[in-house]
Structures are given as structure tokens and as C-alpha cells.
Amino acid sequence: MQEQNLETQLTTPADGVPENGASGMATFAPDPGGPLAGAQGSGTMIVFENVTKIYEPNVVALNEVSFVIDKGEFVFVVGASGSGKSTMIRLLLKEMEPNSGRILVGGRDLSRLKGSKVPLLRRNVGCVFQDFKLLPNRTAAENVAYALKVQGESKLSIRRKVPEVLSLVGLSERSESLPDELSGGEQQRVSIARAVVNHPPLLICDEPTGNLDPDTSVGIMQLLYRINRAGTTILMVTHDREMVDKMRRRVIALEDGRLARDERRGGYESE
Amino acid sequence: MRFRLLVSESVRSLLANTSTTVAATMTVLIGMFLLGLFVALGSWMLAFSDNTKDKLLVKVYFCTEVSCKQPASLEQINFVRKQLDADPLVKEVVFVSKKEALDRMRKRTPEIVAGLTSNPLPDAFEVKAVDGANIKQIATNLSSPALPPGVEKVKDGEEVSARVLQAAKIMSTAFGIATVVLLVSSALLIANTIRLSIFSRRREIEVMKLVGATNWFVRGPFMLEGLICGLAGSILAVLLLLIGKELVLPQILGQIDSSSGVQSLAFGLNALIVIGVGLTIGVLGSGLTIRRFLDV
């Protein structure tokens, strides 16, 4: 009953989130000409091949972890604190290198990616965090625009894209508000808007609902669901048991750095 | 387009972080003001000691009718000149005739010269040493074993010179050390201020890296801010120094005798040094400091 309920909940927008319709969603499909274009079509988005990461002196964060995530998937990564989830995200953003194993994002081997190309990788991987990571002295619109400015987008295209994405996340009315003046859910919407304004083929979410109350979390999940439906692959680290159980999506569970479980339509805990 | 973005980002964060902007500018201001002061004083000291050395002359007075019955002959004078020219310690020999000597005296003390009926002054050589410390040696070389014929006396300024030279040496060494200490400490102070301001903006840098800003995109605005603070601080320092030079200094020293030859480094040059150092510290300080924050 619950599953059915949520499925309908997730496909219809929450209150206050204007539905852009099919055309609006199409606008936010991943950019087919982007640098991770190799990931388009039926290809794979993320490949972890026997990835091991050891922190000095001998803390094993990830131990021979292997999995493949296809383009367009919605994947939950669950596990206790210290199970290696954050390490996985940092490896995906090439904030550090694995001790052994291979990581491919959009068909590209990260170990072969030159340092100067890392910013290009990050422009094609949207990121959403538990603590939002918004710039406190910039308005919602400026925070979103910032991601575009960094890439040297023209003012004209910034002026076009920012309101578009803000209306996607349902914040057209609050675009001139500073993060302080926004609720937690609204701040997370801004950060999602910032993450997807570049049409990244991959969106990584690190406990996006960790700081939000359950009702607000549902709104955020609906938004992510819609973004996923438009073709963006989503990798979401979460502790939100209820959400995982309701969504019945693929679940990758980590336990002490090992891959404990990888189920197509799993729950938070193995059944 | 790129440049305008860089400038607008810098100005934006300078205005948004007023307190750190002011702190950084003031730090540069203080450091550069002291630097300018030391450069001015130090170069004045050097000029003073050079000037004093120059003034240390060996004077060779020739005989006149009055002093030794018979004035020195041209041959005698030339003989002395040859002897002096042969001395490796001698830098320059200037002949001051009776007439010139009187003219000089007239300039200095006109009332005495006015009462003279004839010129009692002798012809003389003024001998400059290569090194002011050697004047006594020159005088001894010339007057031993005996004064050359036609020479009434040889005078050196030894008494004064040794002390003056020693003082000048100590002072310029002290100034040199003080300037280095000052430069190092103001560089550290400025670097620290910049580090604080960057530290308070780690979050901003983190976000920049996250949305795919290149290292130069992150660094650029910070370095430009450093440049602006450095420029503002050092220009203010130059203004303060100018005020000091034009208003305060004359009050202390009275009328400055600009003909004395003792001059500090030209103000323009000093200002250039101050601004140059201020800019360099600002840009390099922020550029280097931010490096460690770029490894996100």
C-alpha cells in the first residue's frame, strides 16, 4: 500500500512546486553533447572495479569494492557511519585517488584524468550535500548563477538558465532571498538547482535529506525523482530508512568498506 | 569578459568582507610606511656618511710671504702635486688658489673679509682620499721625514673623522639590520592577515572547487584582492610619508639645507619601492597562501 502511495506521490509535484510539464523536464535532461556524452544511450555511468582505499596509517575505508551503475539509474548507497560512503563520493569527484582498482565515470578512467581536467569532471557531476554548501552572502539566484559563471558562461545564457532551473525546483518566488532567509528545504532546492543547472549526466547526493524534516524530505525526493526521470543518473547516499524502503530502487549497501549488498529493488536492510 | 568577471568577483568580496579588507590594507599601510621611513632614513644616513667622508680632506698649505718669508714657487707646488698623484691612497687633488680661498671665506664670513687689506690666505691643495679612513696616512706620507720645501703645514681632520666614520658605520649597519627585520616581520604580518581572510572564506573556496572552478578561477580574485589591498595600503603609506616629508620634517629640522649634498633617496624612487614591495607582498602573499586551500 505504501509503495503504491509513494509512487503516485513522487510522480505528482508537491504543493508549491509548479509542474513544468514534459517540455520543462526535457530542458533539464542531461546535455547530450557534454564531455560525459560517452555515457549516453545504454552505456554505463559509473564503474567501480576492485576499488580499495586505505587511509594512513591502516584504516581501510573501501575494500575491493566493485559495482556498475548504468545511465539513468537511481541508486541508493546505504551503510553505517564509517562504512566508506563518503570515501566513495570523494573518489568519484577525484578529490583523492584509490590505492588500487579502477574507477570510470562516463567511460573515463579517473586515474588517467589529468589534474587540470578535474574541474571539467566536476562540472559534469552535480553535487548535493547535507549541509547545502551555499554561499551565505549570495542570493538563491546568484548561488545558482555562480556555477555557470565558473564555467565562463555568458551573462545572457546565465540570465536565461537561472530562472528556468529555479522554477524547476519551485523557487521562482524566492530567487532574490539569501540562504539565511530560506528554510532548510528551500536551501536544499537551491543547491539542487545549482547542481543541475549545467545539465550534468550524473547527480551525486550526499544525504540530501539528512537535515530536513520528513515532509520536506518527500518534496526533495520528488524533485530528485523528476530529475532522474528526465535522464539524469542519481547516486544518493542516505540514512533515510523510510525513504529507501518506500522507493524500492537499487540499493548498494556498504559495511566496513565492503560491498555487503547490491539489490535491484531493495530496502534499507536486507530481507 | 573573463577579466570583467574577475574584477567584479574581487570587488564584490572586498566589499562583502569589509573588516578583512580594512585589516589587510592597514597592515600593508603600516608595514610600507615603516619601510618607506627606513629607506628614507637609511639612504640619508648613507649619504651623510659619504658626505662626511668627502669632507675629510688633507689640506696642504703652501708658504706665503707672511708665514715663511718666501712664497712657495710653482716648481715646489708641482713637486708636491706629483708626489700626491703618485700616492695610491689619494683620490683627487684640487688646487685652491689664494684668491679662491678668499672668495670662499668671503662667502662664509663676509664681515671678516671686508676688513682685510690684503689676502693673507695661502695657496693650498685639498686632497681627497679614496677611503676617508686613510687621510692620516696620506698626511704622514707627505710630511715625513720632513715637510716638502714650500709647504707650510699639512692638516688632516683625523680627530673628527675617526669618530664620525665609526658612528656612521654603526648607524648604517643598524639601519640595514633594522630594515631587513622590518621587511621580514611586515611580510609575515601581511601573510598572516591574508591567511586569516582566506581561512574565513574556506567555505567559499570549497564551493568554488565543487562547482568545477579551475584553480586559477579560484586564485584569480584572491590575488587581485591582494593586489588591490597592497596597492591601496602602499599608496596610503606614500601619502603619509609625503605629509611627513612636507610638513613634519621641516618643523623638526628647520630649514633643510639642500645644497649640503646630504640627501636621502629621491622621494619618487622611495615611493616606487614602497608601492612595488606592497604590491608584491599583496599578490604573492595571497597567491601562495591560497595554494594550500586548493587541494579540496
DSSP chain A: -HHHHHHHHHHSPPTT----HHHHHHHTS--TTSTTGGG-TT-EEEEEEEEEEEETTTEEEEEEEEEEEETT-EEEEE--TTSSHHHHHHHHTTSS--SEEEEEETTEEGGGS-GGGHHHHHHTEEEEETT----TTS-HHHHHHHHHHTTT--HHHHHHHHHHHHHHTT-GGGTT--GGGS-HHHHHHHHHHHHHTT--SEEEEESTTTTS-HHHHHHHHHHHHHHHHTT-EEEEE---HHHHHHH--EEEEEETTEEEEEETT--SS--
Q: Is the pLDDT of residue B157 over 90?
A: no
CB contact under 8 A, B204 and A135: yes
Q: Hey, is the C-beta of A117 within 8 angstroms of any chain B C-beta?
A: no
Percent over 70 (pLDDT), chain B: 90
Report how far apart the first and last C-alpha atoms of chain A are (Å, whole number): 18
Q: Which residue of A has its CA nearest to B201?
A: A135
* pLDDT at residue number A5: 45
> Which residues in B have their CB inside 8 Å of a CB on A?
1-2, 5, 9, 16, 203-204, 206-215, 217, 296
DSSP class of residue A265 equals T
Q: The complex's ipTM?
A: 0.72
**HSE-up of residue A41 (Cα within 13 Å, Cβ side):** 5
Per-residue pLDDT band for B264 (boundaries 50, 70, 90) equals: low
For residue range A121-173, list pLDDT tens digits in order. Answer: 998 999 999 999 998 888 999 999 999 988 888 889 999 999 999 999 999 99
Nearest residue, CB atoms, B212 vs list A119, A135, A154: A119
Instruction: Find the radius of gyration of the CA atoms of chain A.
Output: 18
Write the DSSP string, B214-256: -HHHHHHHHHHHHHHHHHHHHHHHHHHHHHIIIIIHHHHH-S-
Beta bridge partners of B240: none
Residues whose CB falls within 8 Å of the CB of residue B81, separated by 6 or more in sequence, listed in order: B93, B95, B125
Between CA B242 and CA B37 the distance in angstroms is 10
Instruction: Name the phi and psi angles at A217, rounded to 5.
Output: -60, -40
Q: Which residue of A has its CA nearest to B295?
A: A95
Look at the block and give the residue holding cell 696620506: B138
Nearest residue, CB atoms, B5 vs list A95, A120, A149: A149
| Contacts B212 to A, Cβ<8 Å | 119-124, 147, 150-151, 198
CB contact under 8 A, B213 and A150: yes
By C-alpha distance, which of B35, B18, B24, B40 is closest to B237? B35
Sign of CA dihedral A110, A115, A121, A125: positive
| Contacts B211 to A, Cβ<8 Å | 122-123, 146-147, 150, 194
Between CA A97 and CA A92 the distance in angstroms is 9
Instruction: Name the phi and psi angles at A252, rounded to 5.
Output: -110, 120
Nearest residue, CB atoms, A119 vs list B204, B207, B214: B214
Rounded to a whole number of angstroms, the distance from the CA of B286 to the nearest CA of chain A is: 20
Q: Hey, is the C-beta of A202 within 8 angstroms of any chain B C-beta?
A: no
Q: What is the mean pLDDT of chain A?
A: 84
Q: Hey, is the C-beta of A194 within 8 angstroms of any chain B C-beta?
A: yes
Q: What is the CB neighbour count within 10 angstroms for residue B290?
A: 21
* Burial readout A261-271 (b: 16 or more C-beta within 10 A, e: otherwise): beeeebbbeee
Per-residue pLDDT band for B151 (boundaries 50, 70, 90) equals: confident
* pLDDT at residue number B27: 86
Q: Is the pLDDT of residue A194 over 70?
A: yes
CB contact under 8 A, B208 and A152: no
* pLDDT average, residue stretch A17-35: 47
The helix-helix angle for A155-168 and A184-196 (nearest 10°) equals 130
pTM, two decimal places: 0.67
Q: Is pLDDT larger for residue A173 or for residue B112?
A: A173
Residues whose CB falls within 8 Å of the CB of residue A111, separated by 6 or more in sequence, listed in order: A97, A98, A102, A103
